[in-house]
Amino acid sequence: MMRQYELVERVAAYNPQVDEDLLNRAYVYAMQKHGSQKRDSGDPYFSHPLEVAAILTDLKLDDASVAVGLLHDTIEDTSATRDEISAVFGERIAKLVDGLTKIKQLDLLSREARQAENLRKLLLAVSDDVRVLLVKLADRLHNMRTIEFVKPEKRGRIAEETMEIYAPLAGRMGMQGLRDELEDCAFRVLNPDAYETITEKLAELSEQTDRAVETIMTDLTARLSDGGLKAEIKGRQKRPHSIFSKMQRKSIGFEQLSDIFGFRVLVETCDDCYAALGIVHTAWPMVPGRFKDYISTPKQNEYRSLHTTIIGPEKQRAELQIRTHDMDALAEYGIAAHPLYKDEVIGDHDLLARESKAYAWLRQTVEHIAQGDAPEEFLEHTKLELFQDQVFCFTPKGRLIALPRGATAIDFAYAVHTDVGDTCIGAKVNGKLTPLIQPLENGDEVEIVRSEAQRPPPAWESIVVTGKARAAIRRATRSHVREQYSGLGGHILQRAFETAGREYRQDLLTSILGTFSHTDVGDLLAAVGRGDIAADAVIKAIYPDFTTDRKQGRTAWRPEEGWFAAARASLKFKLPGANKKTNGEALPLRGLDQNMPVRFSPEGGAVPGDRIVGIMTPGEGVTIFPIQSPSLIAFEDEPDRWIDVRWDIDAESREQYPTRIHVSALNEPGSLAAIATIIGGSDANIDNLRMLRRAPDFTEMEIDLEVWDLKHLNRIVQDLRSKSIISNAVRVNG
């Protein structure tokens, strides 16, 4: 643990006029007040405020800030009072400690219904003196460095709070170094597997690229020196959370990242920055679209630098940041790097507004907050501009949900709870029904409309922007498809066992799970449904005396006829509105969605009213063909792939089915429009149209349609044939 004189020496290293008496008194007072208190790690509690003070010395803050770092928990956690601290250290110190005590009492993530008001109070507390924010961030940083000692049930909440509130706040104040460490600490807690994987890959990559990095630094130093510039060059490595965020944002792998290693070029003046840029771009080709000038147009937090990416020595991509030493200090420490925050005029708000755009912005935001008494007015005025790379939205009960910019109501639903996302069918944003894919804005109040019958469509995965939503959608899709394959596998086995004259019960499957390397009956059934495991292999595993005659392409229990004939003979089907009682001999086909392991023939499809048969394709499911399809001939020698299926559709069903027609039409103006009018007027939908052959007088085309049933299709074909411009119209049976 750091001693008094060591703390004084740290401050004296950057402030020769250090107030030793103030620091010594604060050190002794805090140590006495915390006394025998222990942290979760078992260390003396005083070690925490001492480490906070050390972090503040790293930021080179004034004596008062360091003293407040030592005292920041005394009112909250000891017998000390504000009046006592005011008497011992003065009103200025007491005010800062009291401000931190108010923030300490806020619990931004556990009081869901009060989060808007809590955030409002946080900003109001910071606005009175920016050092409140600096000490609070240092306090949070040390807590995150030692978070492994916190109880597991609290760890996740603290890490989420850090990622959603404190890290963006540090970034908004320009304190990028502190933000990076806060994000990495929180990332390690919230996603330990990803953190470990990326850290390992970074270590491996560092070993592989050491020589290339050294070559680039040497070459770059020589060229800048030859150009008359005095430059300091630093290599830097992208942080794990930054890498993870970019991989998610751009949907790319680790190996596709080109800016994991970069270089910082520090020069003396602003003119030298542009001179260095000219030397770099003259020596090496730049990567188009990768140049940004934040010197002429600084970021809102006052960040200034030139960014460019070049193809350097050995064809290595290298990202360069070119800036002055002062710009570099501001980039790393933000408002903490400003000399104004290290002297006695810190309370002069007018001067602050002139000197620091970041803090002036914060005060302006807080002034808007103060215009209203209710959290709703706070949101109306501010739109939570604090988090420029995030949007903050609210549930109807006031819970604050932080999301990446560009997030949709689907992301919001999954952020509330996975079950809410899985059952989401719509959203009301600020009281109005809004498309689920519409990006949300800061301050939106979002109400999710749910249905227990809903399952998340796989297409949502390409819409959402949060990893949590994407993972949940994938998981739900896999689960749903597994259920359907499992059900299909159960039907296949039941039919196969009946045909073989053997008893079928699911409990019989338990004894053979090890044979097929499965631990769950559902997984085994799904494997059968996918075609990965043949039904006769399952029968053989349960009944070793069972045999099949493979040479003849037919099973031993049906020697008298081929499967093609058997499929025709035993096929059952139903038209819409027909009696729905079944005899169990064929698989019911109710309707298809994009999750189902059942699809229609790509060459002509099938519609209710057709006699149909299914063909199993391993790993893909069942493909449905009309019984008259010539494509079925190709499968006649593969009996295990044939599945008997039938239509089983509700009369009220509003689902259309795919089919294809071949049309020959006269080459006359408006003929194509007439065909489209006939089809559209018949309540059908055109999916695709292909011109097959165009002669001087006739054009042949294929049209993919969606129709209700066979009667509907036949009516469309007859309507087309009745037109004088059409010489022929027939259905295509693929």
Dihedral sign, Cα of residue 212, residue 214, residue 219, residue 224: positive
Structure tokens at 90: 């003065």
Q: How far apart are the first and last CA of the chain?
A: 80
212: CB partners within 8 A, 6+ apart: 313, 314, 316
What's the Rg (C-alpha) of the chain? 35
- In contact, 158 and 145? CB cutoff 8 Å: no
Query: What is the sign of the dihedral through the CA atoms of 69, 72, 73 and 78?
Result: positive
d(CA 660, CA 703): 6
Which residues lie across from 402 on neighbouring strands? 392
CA–CA distance, 410 with 469 (Å, rounded to integer): 7
Do 349 and 359 touch, CB atoms closer than 8 A? no
Using DSSP, state whether 448 is helix, strand or coil.
strand
Catalytic residue among 20, 43, 58, 76: 76
164 is catalytic: no
644 φ, ψ (degrees, to nearest 5): -75, 130
CB atoms within 10 A of CB 565: 12
Which amino acid, 185?
C
Structure tokens at 120: 């409002």
Under 8 Å between Cβ of 392 and 165: no
Q: CB of 301 within 8 A of CB of 334?
A: yes
- Amino acid at site 84: E
CA distances from 130 to 346, 486, 551 (A): 8, 61, 85
Question: Which of 558, 658, 655 lies closest to 612 in space, CA to CA?
Answer: 658
Q: How far is CA 424 from CA 444, 474, 655, in A?
A: 18, 15, 21
Cα dihedral value 642, 643, 644, 648, nearest 10 = -140
Long-range CB pairs of 517-520 (<8 Å, 24+ gap) are: none
For residues 224 and 232, give the distance between their C-alpha atoms in angstroms, rounded to a whole number: 10
In whole angstroms, how far apart are CA 121 and each of 169, 503, 630?
A: 14, 70, 74
> Number of helices (H) and strands (E), helices first, in the chain?
28, 19
β-pairing verdict for 432-434 and 424-429: antiparallel
Instruction: Check if 76 is active-site.
Output: yes
- In the set 9, 19, 43, 77, the catalytic residue is 77
Residues forming a β-bridge with 587:
645
Q: What is the DSSP string of 453-512?
A: T----GGGGGT--SHHHHHHHHHHHHHHHHHHHHHHHHHHHHHHHHHHT----HHHHHTT
Residues 6 or more apart whose Cβ sits within 8 Å of residue 329: 337
Burial class (CB in 10 A: 0-12, 13-18, 19+), 714: middle
Of 702, 699, 700, which Cα lies nearest the Cα of 667? Answer: 699
User: Rounded to whole angstroms, how far apart are CA atoms 637 and 644?
Assistant: 16
Give dist(CA 309, CA 325) in Å, integer.
21
Which residues are part of the catalytic machinery? 76-77
